Amino acid sequence: MTNEEVAKDLIRQFGENVYDFDEPYGMLTLSTRREQIISMIEYLRDHPLYQINFLTTLCGIHYPDDPEPARKFCVVYQLHSLVNNFRIRIKVFLAENDLHMPTLTNIYQSANWMERETYDFFGIIFDGHPKLIRILNMEDMDYFPMRKQYPLEDPTREDKIDALFGR
């Protein structure tokens, strides 16, 4: 079971809905569309040979500087086959005005809080999630703090500007 085999099989199954194949540091990485993500994760889990049955992480990324409007946000799923010790990373890119993803909670219970965390930090809405509310931040927060436009510290503070080093 190599990266190449899995990649070829996924292309056979999902055609042009899988793209951007890469192998950074040996981990198969690919992108798909949000319509396919659930069926793809289900396919990988139920495949008799792959048995990719463990959700390692689920997290969001914000790319405000990406020129393409459809690639402003990204949700990354990292899955692991404990049987074959095979890891795979699947990305779904989203446009800023349409931050909706289908929920994974029907397949993996562990996705519940991970999706809540992603919503909490990035504002990505997981449709069908049983209880999509903030998890780590306080409930009356009115923005999504991990987005790049929010600075770490209060921007009005002047004692922390380090102009000498161009930051």
Partner 1 sequence: MNTVLDISNKNIPGSDLPAKSEESVQYVNELTTLNLGPTHPATHGIFQNILQMDGEKIVSGEQTIGYIHRAFEKIAEQRPFYQITTLTDRMNYCSSPINNFGWHMTVEKLLDIKVPKRAEYIRVIMMELARIADHLICNGILGVDTGAFTGFLYLFEERENIYEIYEEVCGARLTTNMGRIGGMERDLSPEAIRKIRAFLKRFPPIMREFEKLFNRNRIFMDRIIDVGGITAERALNYGFTGPNLRAAGVDYDVRVMNPYSSYQDFEFEIPVGKSGDTYDRFMVRNEEIWQSLRIIEQALENLPEGPYFADAPEYYLPPKKEVYRNMEALIYHFKIVMGEIDAPVGEVYHAVEGGNGELGFYLISDGGRTPYRLHFRRPCFIYYQAYPEMCKGLTLSDAIVIMSSMNVIAGELDG
Q: To the nearest whole angstrom, how small is the minimum distance from the Cβ of residue 120 to partner 1?
A: 9
Asked whether 144 and 120 are in contact (CB, 8 A), the reply is yes
57 interacts with partner 1 by CB under 8 A = yes
Positions of E strands within the chain = 18-22, 28-32, 54-62, 73-81, 86-94, 100-102, 125-127
Site for partner 1 in 68-97 (CB under 8 A): 76, 78, 82, 85, 87, 89
DSSP 83: T
Asked whether 132 and 119 are in contact (CB, 8 A), the reply is yes
24 interacts with partner 1 by CB under 8 A = yes
Hey, what are 149's tokens? Answer: 């436009």
Q: How far apart are CA 73 and CA 160, in angstroms?
A: 29
Of these, 4, 95, 109, 128, which contacts partner 1 (CB under 8 A)? 109
Of these, 15, 19, 20, 56, which contacts partner 1 (CB under 8 A)? 56
141 interacts with partner 1 by CB under 8 A = no
Asked whether 124 and 77 are in contact (CB, 8 A), the reply is no
Asked whether 60 and 118 are in contact (CB, 8 A), the reply is yes
Stretch touching partner 1 by CB under 8 A, among 9-17, 34-42, 95-103, 108-116:
108-116
Of these, 3, 29, 32, 36, which contacts partner 1 (CB under 8 A)? 29
> Which spans of this chain sit near partner 1 (rule: CB under 8 A)?
24-25, 27, 29, 53-57, 59, 61-62, 76, 78, 82, 85, 87, 89, 108-110, 112-114, 117, 121, 131, 134-139, 145-146, 152, 165
